[in-house]
Structure 1
Amino acid sequence: VSLAQARALRDEAKKKLAEGIDPSFAKKEEKLVRDVQLNNTFQAVALEWHGTKVSRWSEGYASDIIEAFNKDIFPYIGQQPVNDIKPLVLLNVLRRMENRGATEKAKKVRQRCSEVFRYAIVTGRAEYNPAADLTSAMSGHESKHYPFLTVEELPDFFKALAGYTGSPLVVLAARLLILTGVRTGELRGAFWSEFDLEKAVWEIPAERMKMKRPHLVPLSTQALEIVQQLKVMSGQYPLVFPGRNDPRKSMSEASINQVFKRIGYTGKVTGHGFRHTMSTILHEEGFNTAWIETQLAHVDKNAIRGTYNHALYLEGRREMMQWYADFIGQVGKFQLTPSLCSY
């Protein structure tokens, strides 16, 4: 301790005595606060929780849990006070796992994190469990059935798509699907009457939605340009994507996935998989989870009070989807429209 530091400590002690505070007691109190803060980090609580459970687990299982925490959780939130961790912070950490394809592992790690937070609650170090709110936002349940692409895989995909010489109508359908995040069935069944090109919105009626609630989709400038090109191709029909053989019916259910198959992506991605890709990218960028979930029409029944507002977060979602369209354009050198020809 330098002379100047010693004098500063002496002056601080004199000040505390003048205020009626015992300096030695104050030091003990400060140490206690530091110790409490140190013991209240997520990592400290997780290790303590792990210690209470380890005798009930096999050696391999116990090792797997701590290895997952060391690799995927502690480096990002390990030193944060357990009571300060918000759902979005934890979700972004878990998204890192999903983004590299470890979706099932991410689900299991979320469950273990939830147990840690519950332990923190019962030991008086946290007031709520942010992991419990993430079930609907996790994408692992889709991964078994809907293969998806990571950001790193997008450039090669768009290069392959640009080389596809089949139906321009189906290619535009695939690109509009990617830029809006709607479900494949919602896209195929679209009617021109649902689009307001001046306001750049697409209103899907409740009867065509999975959750049976109307859904308002903001259109980025890129998505709007695709819709305008589609208007030239199929504007004479009620359906935006009429079938080749019978324009009174929508294009076949397999049309979009057939394109992916023909450009070499069988088993690697589906139309629905791009919803996962979009969700991952937007979460990684830090966009509001509520905006993302609303854009994907993931309606949380427990969150709805009174009349459902299908225009929820519209302006925020418009900004978000414009950012996403710009991002996709940069990543994939996105060619908006193939040359117009018969379909």
Structure 2
Amino acid sequence: MARKTTSLTNTEVDKAKPREKEYNLSDGEGLMLRVKPTGSKLWLFNYTRPFTKKRANISFGTYPELSLANARKKRTEARELLAEDIDPKEHRDEQTRNSVRANSNTLKHVFLLQLEVKKTEVSADHAHDILRSFELHLLPKLGSTPIGKLDAPTVIDVLKPIAAKSPETVKRLCHRMNEVMIYALNTGLADHNPLSGIKHAFEKPIKKHMPTISPEQLPTLMKTLTTASISLTTRCLIEWQLHTMVRPSEAAGARWDEIDTESALWVIPAERMKMKEQHIVPLTPQTMALLDVIRPSNNRSPYVFAGARNINKPTNSSTANVALKRMGYHKELVAHGLRSLASTILNNKGINGDLIEACLAHKGKDEVRNAYNKADYLELRREVMKEWSAHIEKAAEGNLSLGSK
């Protein structure tokens, strides 16, 4: 017949005195209080480990921090685990490891991991823009929060003051936060995404296009560019971007080794393109003439448009924007708007829309069509570029453009 153990009372636990050697007071069903010579009292649970059938102890905590009643609750929980063949000590250790891992995977940590992956898909400028947006708006208040403890109300509260000033910024931040959460889900750093619908907490921003001028204003722009108090490099940069229809950062970062003068092609590597795909720009006589103009000034630099202070670095991607602002085009035209101007004029000429999109390095959703465009449109695009350069030269009245052939 099994020996019956009398349960402990609160008084017995409280009055238990230290002895020369440590001893145990049993409460039954594996729970015991170990009293040490120092006077400290420790709750232990003695059990048979599943599968190995070896005896083991697990510590629940010290008395009086852990009361008799709470120690019994822990005993019940441990016995329930054992009934499922789960070792309570191994279970607790795993929970501790998971907790440590979860608390170390903060938003900042996971975001930086995700950004390294994102950098393989976007341009360096775009990646920097993502980093700055997090540093300015999200990381100061949320950076140290474990990714698994983020919730929609908390993030929305952080975004609300920004929404009042810039709905477009909040739209981007909602999208970028969800990209981080999706990364966390796919890498096992989170088990759900509570932020999937946060964009619906804010008004949808009114879509604003990049400021640009009308086709009729192109002659005035070319005349203003001729008389503007700007450097030769900056003027050539603006005309280069206008003729080639590339993005500001792609134009500013142009390298001499990207240009094949014999084939009249400018091959922009994938890492410098927004969509991370190589883009080939057919060069017209006018753009080749621009290279002849700028080469004597920047032939010692690896960059076509060298920086003013350091020729081993390209001019800043915002150089054209600053110049246009000084030329009187503030809020009327930005460098990126030159692409819209080209698109409008070429569409008005009735040129095939797919060709124009290919010239602009826009990528559609149809992958098969994208592959066809990339493989087959080069010579057709060369004709479009010639048409566009001729239009610019005519608008400049021939002698006003540095790229006049």
TM-score (norm 2): 0.46
Q: Output one character per residue of 1:73-121: Cα deviation in whole Å (capped at 9) or x when no partner.
A: xxxxxxxxxxxxxxxxxxxxxxxxxxxxxxxxxxxxxxxxxxxxxxxxx
The corresponding residue for 2:401 is 336
Deviations 1:194-231 (A, max 9, x none): 00111111000001000000000001111111012222
Aligned to 2:8: none
Q: Where in structure 2 are the equivalents of 1:211-250 lying within 5 Å?
A: 211-250=275-314
d(CA) in 2 for partners of 1:306, 1:267: 34
Once the 2 structures are TM-superposed, how far is the Cα of residue 312 of structure 1 from its aligned partner? 3.7
Cα drift, residue 310 of structure 1: 4.0
Partner of 2:184: none
1:264 CA drift (Å): 0.8
Q: Does 1:210 align with 2:274?
A: yes
Instruction: Assess if the C-alpha contact under 8 Å between 2:300 and 2:311 holds in 1.
Output: no
Matched, 1:156 2:217: no
- TM-fit CA distance, 1:336: 3.0
Tell me the secondary structure at the aligned position of residue 281 of structure 2: strand
- Alignment of structure 1 residues 187-202 onto 2, 5 Å: 187-202=251-266
What root-mean-square deviation, in Å, do the aligned CA atoms of Structure 1 and Structure 2 show?
2.2
1:253 deviates by 2.5
User: Equivalent residue for 1:147?
Assistant: 211
Q: Distance in 2 between matches of 1:242 and 1:182?
A: 18
How far residue 309 of structure 1 moved from its aligned partner, in angstroms, is: 6.7
Q: 1:321 and 2:378 equivalent?
A: no
Match of 1:253 in 2: 317
Q: 1:329 to 1:241 in 2, by over 3 A?
A: same
Partners of 1:170 and 1:330 in 2: CA distance = 21
- What does residue range 89-108 of structure 1 map to in structure 2 within 5 Å? none
Deviations 1:287-339 (A, max 9, x none): 1111100000001132336967745411111111111111111123252329x
Q: Deviations over 1:8-39 (max 9, x none)?
A: xxxxxxxxxxxxxxxxxxxxxxxxxxxxxxxx
CA contact (8 A) 1:295 1:317 kept: yes
Tell me if the contact between 1:148 and 1:274 (Cα under 8 Å) persists in the aligned partners: yes
Residue matched to 1:167: 231
CA distance in 1, matches of 2:331, 2:382: 32
Structure 1 gaps of 5+ residues are: 1-140, 339-343
Separation of aligned partners in 2, 1:302 and 1:242: 38
In structure 1, the residue matched to 2:99 is none
Q: Give 1 or 2: higher strand fraction.
A: 2
In structure 2, the CA distance between the partners of 1:238 and 1:143, relative to structure 1 (3 Å rule), is: farther
1:1-343 equivalences under 5 Å are: 144-304=208-368, 310-334=374-398, 335-337=400-402
Aligned partners of 2:232 and 2:294 also within 8 Å: no
Q: 1:143 to 1:332 in 2, by over 3 A?
A: farther
Residue type matched to 2:228 in 1? Y
1:179 to 1:306, Cα distance in 2 relative to 1, 3 A: closer
Cα pair distance change 1:320/1:142, threshold 3 Å: farther
- Assess if the C-alpha contact under 8 Å between 1:216 and 1:311 holds in 2: no
CA gap of 1:195–1:184, structure 2 versus 1, over 3 A, is same
Query: After alignment, is 152-161 or 291-300 more displaced?
Result: 152-161
Higher Rg of the two aligned structures:
2
Deviation per residue, 1:119-170 (Å, 9 max, x gap): xxxxxxxxxxxxxxxxxxxxxx997251011111112211111101320011
- Helix, strand or coil: the match of 1:217? strand
Matches of 1:196 and 1:247, distance apart in 2: 21
How far does the alpha carbon of each residue in 1:224-271 deviate from its partner, in whole angstroms, 9 at most, with x for none?
Answer: 110122222212111111111112221122211111111111111011
Distance in 2 (alpha carbons) for counterparts of 1:257 and 1:175: 13
CA distance in 2, matches of 1:270, 1:328: 17
After superposition, the Cα gap between the structure-2 partners of 1:314 and 1:142, relative to the gap in structure 1 and judged at 3 Å, is farther
User: Which blocks of at least 5 consecutive residues in structure 2 are unaligned?
Assistant: 1-204
Specify which structure has the higher proportion of helix: 1
How far apart are 1:277 and its partner, in Å? 0.7
CA distance in 2, matches of 1:271, 1:306: 26
2:222–2:401: 8 Å Cα contact kept in structure 1?
Answer: no
Counterpart amino acid of 1:290?
Answer: D
Structure having greater relative contact order (Cα 8 Å, sep ≥ 6): 1
Q: Percent identity?
A: 36
In the alignment, the residues of structure 1 paired with residue 207 and residue 290 of structure 2 have an alpha-carbon distance, to the nearest angstrom, of: 28
The CA distance in 1 between the partners of 2:257 and 2:311, in whole Å, is: 16
The answer on whether the counterparts of 2:219 and 2:396 sit within 8 Å (CA) in structure 1 is: yes
Alpha carbons of structure 1 residues 236 and 298: separation in structure 2 relative to 1, 3 Å? same
Residues in 2 aligned to 1:282 and 1:190: alpha-carbon distance in whole angstroms: 24
Confirm or deny: 8 A CA contact 1:203 1:216 kept in the other structure: yes
